[in-house]
Amino acid sequence: MSDLLNLHQVSAGYGDATVISRIDLRLQPGEALAVLGRNGTGKTTLLNTIIGVTRHRGGTVTLAGRDLTGARPDRRALAGIGWVPQERNIFKSLTVEENLTAVARPGLWTVGRVYEMFPRLKERRANMGSQLSGGEQQMLAIARALVLNPRLLLLDEPTEGLAPIIVEELLAAMKRIIRNEGMSAVVVEQHAQKVLGVTDSAIILDRGTIVHAGSSRSLIDDPAPLEQHLGVTARKKPRQGAIH
């Protein structure tokens, strides 16, 4: 099977600074990748490089066999990359429905379908973006990326700063989008436990390089790399016969 996304020896950054170095990454159609790491390790820069808003230092970026290395961000979006940045970037002066219809493209993901995915948005469809809670704004940002009908969805810290009940709603929606609908995705997340159950594979970044790559399942079963690179302490399994 041909790669959907292929980064070969990619280095990039901002201004004179190189933030990520010699990144090799391959993603198959229908696969989801978790990008893990502490703050400042290059996770967001990696997504920004895929979308084309960093300064290119070397290597190649291809999507479905098409070389996007020198392409502008708008060309990459047209090629099939949907992006949900940390800042969400919704149109706060437009209603929920206007946010969606303004960018929607023909395809399986219609406005009605994202309303089924996010019933809260349907209830608030006449509200301005500025009138939504943080969690609702994040749902809208994801929904807006979906109605672009992308080949690849990039999600940057989608659960950051949200209430636990909203996090659970978003994770359930992401699982449905990725597992049931077969959407290819790259998900940046600082907290591994939130995303490993949703993704197929995972990488850990440290100082702009990949220090671990493997299946999400292997990190769930053996969290030693998470302990080493993220400082995550594995949960101890209860002793047999323990009383709870």
Question: What pLDDT does residue 233 have?
Answer: 59
Evaluate the CA torsion angle 111, 113, 114, 119 in order and state its sign.
positive
Tens of pLDDT, residues 191-209: 898 899 999 999 999 999 9
Mean pLDDT of 206-220: 96
CATH superfamily of 1-80+153-158+187-232: P-loop containing nucleotide triphosphate hydrolases (3.40.50.300)
Mean pLDDT of 51-74: 97
Alpha helices in the chain (DSSP H): 43-51, 73-79, 96-101, 111-117, 119-123, 134-146, 164-175, 192-195, 216-221, 224-230
Name the band, by pLDDT with cuts 50, 70 and 90, for residue 190: confident
Domain positions in the chain: 1-80+153-158+187-232
Question: What pLDDT does residue 191 have?
Answer: 85
Mean pLDDT of 145-162: 95
What pTM does this model have?
0.91
Closest CA to 149 of 183, 99, 186: 183
What proportion of the chain, given as a percentage, has pLDDT over 70?
Answer: 95
Helix, coil or strand: residue 20:
strand
Tokens at residue 151, please?
């080949």
Tens of pLDDT, residues 36-55: 999 999 999 999 999 999 99
Question: What pLDDT does residue 72 have?
Answer: 96
Flag the least confident range among 82-86, 102-106, 180-184, 229-233: 229-233
Question: What pLDDT does residue 193 have?
Answer: 87
